[in-house]
Amino acid sequence: MIGEIAALGAAFSWTISAILYKKALSKTKPISANIVRLVCTSIILVAFMTAIGKFGVLTSLPMYAFVLASISGIIGLGLGDTFYMTSLKLIGVARAVPITCTYPLFGLLWAVLLLEEAVTLSVLLGAAAIVFGVWLLRQERDKDNAETQKKVVFKGVAYALATAIMWSVSITMIDMAVTLPETGTLNHALAVNTIRVTAIAVSLLASAPIIDRDFGFLKMQRKTLAVLILGGIVALGFGWFFLTYSFINTSESRAVPLSSTTPLFSTITGIVLLHEQVTAKNALASTIIVFGIFLIFMI
């Protein structure tokens, strides 16, 4: 039961962080925002591990787990989350989050192509439901200036789908890192999460002169900086730790769909807190996507 609760904790954390990111992105670029939140969060995570006397766990991780965690961070948090923030800025929380949460579908695709797993009727129905839900979200656009809006929505959806692909690869690698016999503890879950965040933080900071040429991450307003740091703590410190820990206590087939319930929460918060124009079609599409994910992984 603790694994399932942890997965739900990840879903709640990612809903809150999406709202914070959306607010911050009105004042800065996605790449600048990603550099700031990753660097600051990595410092906080390393300091936390040191403060509780668990820094040694970081250095004692098996090389296999260390490499998997690092690559997972670069793929999921570097590429994936930059795409995610771009999508949030273009099409908002209520539309971007449900599309990015199709990552279990891509995880299934890797299993079919690489591991030659059988495709059942429930899997086919789930895939059809997810695709239909994404299509519904893609159709939603403002009536005014329709042609320009159509291009913006198309780009936002494309970035959201790219996010889902990156996250699916990253999550699979996390699962592999924490299900080794020598890494199946709470301390190792903390260590793996800290390493994946730190690895991409160092990588982005080193490449900042190329990917953020005007050094926007150094010119950020204090309020925007604070919101990004808070979002990073919620999403990376809590959300990804919860998901990592859930893999230790339950199977990926149960943890992933529970963590994917974020669209339902994001639709509600998009209406209440961000005053986004969420229609019945948005709500229906979010529900269909989550239903499709559960068909794939729960039946």
Handedness of CA 151, 163, 73, 89 (dihedral sign): positive
The pLDDT of residue 4 is above 50 = yes
Q: What does the longest C-alpha to C-alpha distance in the chain come to?
A: 58
pLDDT band at 36 (very low <50, low <70, confident <90, very high): very high
Tokens of 283: 């709500």
Separation CA 197–CA 77 (nearest Å): 7
Amino acid at site 220:
M
- Measured distance CA(162)–CA(98) in Å, rounded: 13
Higher pLDDT, 147 or 52: 52
Helices then strands, counting H and E runs in the chain, come out as: 16, 0
Look up the pTM and report it.
0.78
Whole-angstrom Cα Rg for the chain: 18
Say what the pLDDT of residue 41 is. Answer: 94
Q: Are 256 and 69 in contact (CB under 8 A)?
A: no
d(C-alpha 43, C-alpha 50), whole Å: 11
Q: Which of 67-76, 137-146, 182-191 has the lowest mean pLDDT?
A: 137-146
**Predicted confidence (pLDDT) per residue in 126-185, tens digit:** 778 877 877 776 665 544 445 557 778 888 889 999 999 999 999 888 888 887 777 778
Angstrom distance (rounded) from CA 93 to CA 11:
14
Tokens of 152: 């913006």
pLDDT by residue (tens digit) across 80-128? 999 998 998 888 877 787 888 888 888 777 777 765 666 677 777 877 8
What percentage of residues in the chain have a pLDDT greater than 70?
Answer: 87
Tell me the C-alpha distance between 145 and 17, whole Å.
30
Express each pLDDT in 212-233 by its tens digit: 888 888 888 889 999 999 999 9
Rounded distance between C-alpha atoms, residue 281 and residue 155, angstroms: 20
Cβ atoms < 10 Å from Cβ of 200: 28
- Domain residues of the chain, as ranges? 2-298
Tokens of 142: 């403002």
Residue 294 pLDDT > 60:
yes
Query: How far is residue 247's CA from residue 256's CA, in Å, rounded to a whole number?
Result: 9
* pLDDT at residue 144, rounded to an integer: 46
